[in-house]
Amino acid sequence: MSTGTQLWMGASSHQFFQSKRRYRQRQLTNQLMLSLTGLFMFLAVIPLFWIIGYVILKGGQYINLSFFTHLPTPLGVVGGGVLNAIEGTVVLTVLASLFAVPPGILAAYYVAFRPNSVLGTIVRFGTDVLSGVPSIIVGLFIYALVVKSQGHFSALAGAIALAILMLPIIVRTTEEMIKLVPNSLREGALALGSPEWKTALSVTLPAAAQGIVTGILLGIARASGETAPLLFTALGNDNYDIGNIIRSGIATHQGVFTILGSIIGQPVDSLPLTLWKYAQQPYPERINQAWAAALVLIIVVLLINILARVWVQIQTHRMQGK
């Protein structure tokens, strides 16, 4: 064998690779590394199942129908639920999504197609910084900006604070997803004479829909689990009941907008906020209800995630003709 094929320590390539001992060693290393990655994969999912299991164990027994349909009872009175917090969470999340999703997607579209423009750089840097701002600071900011100037806490202020937290998540994921859409698709539409805005609405954004929806969901999941920004903005409200507001609004012949105004204009509770308040009280029934609230919160967030992922899967398969 020529010197050119000589490998380390003078062993020829032939001897080196055919050696039984080397082969055994490689197999062992392979098995060792494989079991290590498997083990750590297992360790990584332990917290998830532990948390879910523990919350089900502690809170599951306190969940019943009235937990979902009744307002909290005064201390010492048995029963009562967290209807106010469930409704508040829905109102806050829907409002926050309304505030964050349209500007988030538009900004992402701009950044995706003008990445090197001055404004594009600023927006990208800005969203990065914004995603690192502690949520309680956002709460304080909205307190100063909205609550102080309005003179009262409200669902509106809470939703704005949550929207600010959702915005960077939506912008960054949407931007990445739009960039993944092949440019040839966009060119195909433009070559037919489609204006840029129609191309975006009818081709680019639908093609990226799967990722965009995932981004929005991540944002919603983050917003619906936040407590800190709501402390100074939504505050909490034991008597919040949308049904009551609508009934009394109709009884006093208020317009639709007045009723909507009072739905978003007053302080509301949310599940994490209730959880936080109940968990630090010394009364066992409140603690138990906090566990139950935690369980409901986890289930809601999981359900949103699972449903949306299934929907997105179906859509993608339909588009790809499977």
Q: Which residues bind other proteins (CB under 8 A)?
A: 182, 184-185, 187-195, 198, 202-203, 206-207, 318-322
The count of other CB atoms within 10 Å of the CB of residue 16 is: 13
Residue 194 or 214: the one with the smaller Cβ distance to other proteins is 194
CB of 317 to other proteins, least distance (A): 9
Collapsed DSSP state (helix, strand, coil) of residue 6: strand
**CA 161: distance to chain centroid?**
14
Calpha distance 106→260 (Å, rounded): 27
Residues 6+ apart with CB under 8 A from 58: 288, 291
CB of 195 to other proteins, least distance (A): 6
CB of 181 to other proteins, least distance (A): 9
- Asked whether the CA dihedral 216, 218, 219, 220 is positive or negative, the reply is positive
Q: CA dihedral defined by 85, 230, 147, 144, rounded to 10 degrees?
A: 180
CB of 223 to other proteins, least distance (A): 30
Residues 6+ apart with CB under 8 A from 140: 232
Residue 262 or 315: the one with the smaller Cβ distance to other proteins is 315
CB of 106 to other proteins, least distance (A): 19
Calpha distance 82→111 (Å, rounded): 42
Calpha distance 147→158 (Å, rounded): 9
Residue 192 or 303: the one with the smaller Cβ distance to other proteins is 192
- The burial class, CB within 10 Å (0-12 / 13-18 / 19+), for 168 is buried
Angle, vertex CA 143, rays to CA 234 and CA 261, nearest 5:
50
CB of 194 to other proteins, least distance (A): 5
CB of 44 to other proteins, least distance (A): 34
Phi, psi at 218, each rounded to 5°: -60, -40
Residue 116 or 252: the one with the smaller Cβ distance to other proteins is 116
